[in-house]
Amino acid sequence: MRKLLLVSAVLLVAAAPPSKPKTPSEIVADAPPSAWRDIPADDLLVMDLRNGAQVVIQLAPQFAPVHVANIRALAKGGWWSGAAIYRVQDNYVVQWGNNESTRPLPQGVVAKPPAEYHRALKGLAVRPLGFADPYAPTAGFAAGWPIGYDSKAGTANLAHCYGYVGVGRDLSPDTGTGGELYAVIGHAPRHLDRNIAVVGRVIEGIERLSSLPRGTEALGFYKDASMHVPISAVRLGSEIPAGARPAYQLMDTQSASFSAYVKARANRKDDFFIRPAGGVDLCNASVPVRKKPA
Amino acid sequence: MRKLLLVSAVLLVAAAPPSKPKTPSEIVADAPPSAWRDIPADDLLVMDLRNGAQVVIQLAPQFAPVHVANIRALAKGGWWSGAAIYRVQDNYVVQWGNNESTRPLPQGVVAKPPAEYHRALKGLAVRPLGFADPYAPTAGFAAGWPIGYDSKAGTANLAHCYGYVGVGRDLSPDTGTGGELYAVIGHAPRHLDRNIAVVGRVIEGIERLSSLPRGTEALGFYKDASMHVPISAVRLGSEIPAGARPAYQLMDTQSASFSAYVKARANRKDDFFIRPAGGVDLCNASVPVRKKPA
């Protein structure tokens, strides 16, 4: 018989007897409705690839409002017609876009957005991670997102975790319009934190990006256009008729369920584990997302 | 023009003027021959897939000697004939093996190896990472490998970084023979550290594993055998004739070049970067490996 090997971080297995501490997945499965928040339809970016795959991104207007407004205007303005995935670099990013130098930006798109690489800590209710972080003075969660933050400087930034989406840019002071995006498909490249506008995360279909063939040119660019993966449509959730619109919920990072989840992620006690780690990396305590129950 | 977006962690770009601090890739490119160590041919496990792809693994006998001896005996004993990749779980692992319950183990394979999940710190020359680690009291490098270590307990363990290879097992006290292996293809699942025998790392061809289609069953298992990726041969480097044998070198983790490399990884000052992180994650300071120069 094939060995089960490793119990997944996210998937779950049979119900444990009551004496055992709950696994992270059991905590998520058992979380009460009050622990979940609907994700607004206007915060969903639904990308259809011509190969039939669909990828759903949750936008983070709390952290990069001008870039997110751009991304909404680009979707509504038909920017993505003719766009493609043209770069897949192993253990790094998948990148897609349209030609920003030859194509006019749709109406309402700010050509030179401010550097929304961090925001004010003030106004955010923070749930500290409680474990060390090599990239920020402290790490935690706010408004459903993983952040690094600096209480002294009063700033907070989204973290480049697996599946997180950022805005391609040239050298500073260019910050990118949002017309070229990338998603992380490897070990979190947190050195990019506070250097790029992070605008959201893939909440469904990241495996349709991460399993694409790697580009063979420098930085993972595809050698020629025949390898590109064309994008057939990018729509906001709010542009999709209510009946056909996908709907998701996010675990409230201020909820007791989320606290229990982080604690369990740091102290795995499933039968498979012998020595709980006693800690967890910010990007390994990914905020639970689910399809909204009918 | 397409934006370059992000300068890769590993690849490099044009030479910088002398006044600028070197990038990590420049430090690697400029490292003197004395900073490099040959990887012994007996520490190389060369896996050929029937789809034509080749994957090269460097074994870590310093950390899991009995499991590594098993893996060598399995290769020499023809264990991998008929084996396949049968599990690909996104942001987690690719797993391959042969049927351990129906197939006799080759001669010399220890059926129940000890739990080589950590080793004595004593005897290792450690180069501390110098930055916080959420999974171990301290993190660093020893004998060319990234480790978590505990000076008080006197133990050190290999870290589950991207591309690292571990031994599939059932529930404890089973530790796995080495007849089923997995490689990490996502954000480092460090909660597995000290719970599984880590036996090496992929040093060439990880992208041939990480881009495989994801399994659709629970835990990423492929639904049926028709989706399996057959393995055509697994050989030690030492079994391959000297002329055809691949040869690699590893940067000495005690060298000045490696110190400079870690420092530069923690403080990226290439033109693209605006704010150096001031820190780096253990798994983001991957030990440089290169083909041995002719």
Please compute the mean of the pLDDT values over residues A148-153 and round it to a whole number: 98
Give the pLDDT score at B8: 38
Contact A231, A276 (CB under 8 A): no
DSSP character for B190?
Answer: G
Entry field: residues in chain A: 294
A232: Cβ–Cβ under 8 A, 6 or more apart, which residues?
A: A48, A49, A50
Higher-pLDDT residue of A3 and B53 is B53
Of B225, B199, B235, the C-alpha closest to B48 is B235
Whole-angstrom distance, CA of residue B8 vs CA of residue B258: 18
Strand intervals (E) in chain B: 36-38, 44-49, 54-59, 84-88, 93-97, 119-120, 126-128, 138-142, 145-150, 155-158, 164-167, 180-184, 198-204, 229-236, 248-251, 289-291
Contacts of B175 in chain A (CB under 8 A): none
Residue closest to B36 by CA, chosen among B278, B263, B288: B288
Q: Which residue has the higher pLDDT, A204 or B2?
A: A204
Query: Where is average pLDDT lowest: B12-16, B44-48, B226-230?
Result: B12-16
Beta-carbon separation of B187 and A192 below 8 A: no
The reply to whether residue B194 touches residue A283, judged by beta carbons under 8 angstroms, is: no
- Output the pLDDT for position B103: 86
* pLDDT tens figures, B164-197: 999 999 999 999 999 999 999 999 999 999 999 9
Shortest distance between the Cα of A99 and any Cα of chain B, in A, equals 6
Best of B10, B86, B89, B91 to disrupt the A interface by mutation (most A CBs within 10 Å)? B91
Condensed to tens digits (0 to 9), the pLDDT of residues B243-276 reads 899 999 999 999 999 999 999 999 998 889 999 9
Cα gap B197→B157, rounded to integer Å: 9
- Are the Cβ atoms of A195 and B5 closer than 8 angstroms? no
> Over pLDDT 70: what percentage of chain B?
94
pLDDT of residue B118: 98
Q: What is the pLDDT of residue A12?
A: 40
Report the distance separating Cα A119 and Cα A63, nearest Å.
6
The alpha-carbon gap from B186 to the nearest alpha carbon of chain A, in Å, equals 5
Minimal-distance CA residue of chain B relative to A275? B195
B145-150, strands of its sheet edge to edge:
B119-120, B155-158, B145-150, B138-142, B126-128
Segment A207-232 mean pLDDT: 97
CB atoms within 10 A of CB B124: 18
How many C-beta atoms lie closer than 10 Å to residue B17's C-beta? 6
Q: How confident is the model at residue A10 (pLDDT cuts 50, 70, 90)?
A: very low
Residue A24 pLDDT more than 50? yes
What's the pTM value of the predicted model, to 2 decimals? 0.94
For residue A281, the chain B residue with the least C-alpha distance is: B134
* pLDDT of residue A134 exceeding 50: yes
CA A64 – CA A46 distance, rounded (Å): 19
Residue A131: is it exposed, middle or buried by C-beta count within 10 angstroms (0-12/13-18/19+)?
A: buried
pLDDT of residue A18: 55
Lowest mean pLDDT among A14-28, A29-43, A62-76, A223-237: A14-28
pLDDT of residue A98: 87
A3 to B99: CB separation less than 8 angstroms, yes or no: no
Q: Å from B1 to nearest chain A CA? A: 6
What pLDDT was estimated at residue B294?
87
Q: Is residue A7 over pLDDT 60?
A: no
Mutation choice for B interface testing from A90, A155, A206, A212 by most B CBs within 10 A: A90
* Residue A167 scores a pLDDT above 90: yes
- Give the rounded percent of residues in chain B with a pLDDT score beyond 90: 87
Q: Are A159 and A282 contacting, i.e. CB atoms less than 8 angstroms apart?
A: yes
- Measure A161 CA to nearest chain B CA, in Å: 8
For residue B16, what pLDDT is reported?
A: 47
CA angle A158, B89, A25 (to 5 degrees): 65
State the pairing for strand pair A145-150/A138-142.
antiparallel
* B9 pLDDT higher than 80: no
A271-283 pLDDT, tens per residue? Answer: 889 999 999 999 9
The whole-number pLDDT of residue B255 equals 98
A189 contact residues in B (CB cutoff 8 A): 6, 9, 284
CA distance B40 to B59: 10
Q: With contacts defined as CB-CB under 8 Å, which chain B residues touch A99? A: 1-2
**Strand-pair category, B198-204 with B164-167:** antiparallel
pLDDT at A118: 98
B281 → chain A, closest CA residue: A134
Tokens encoding B206:
């990880």
**Which residues of chain A does B14 touch, with a Cβ-Cβ cutoff of 8 Å?**
none
Structure confidence at residue A252 (pLDDT) = 98
Average pLDDT, chain A: 93
- What does the CA dihedral B13, B15, B17, B21 come to, rounded to 10 degrees? 70
Q: Tell me how far apart the alpha carbons of residues A63 and A7 are, in angstroms, rounded to a whole number.
A: 34
Tokens 């789809």 belong to B51
User: What was the pLDDT predicted at B3?
Assistant: 57
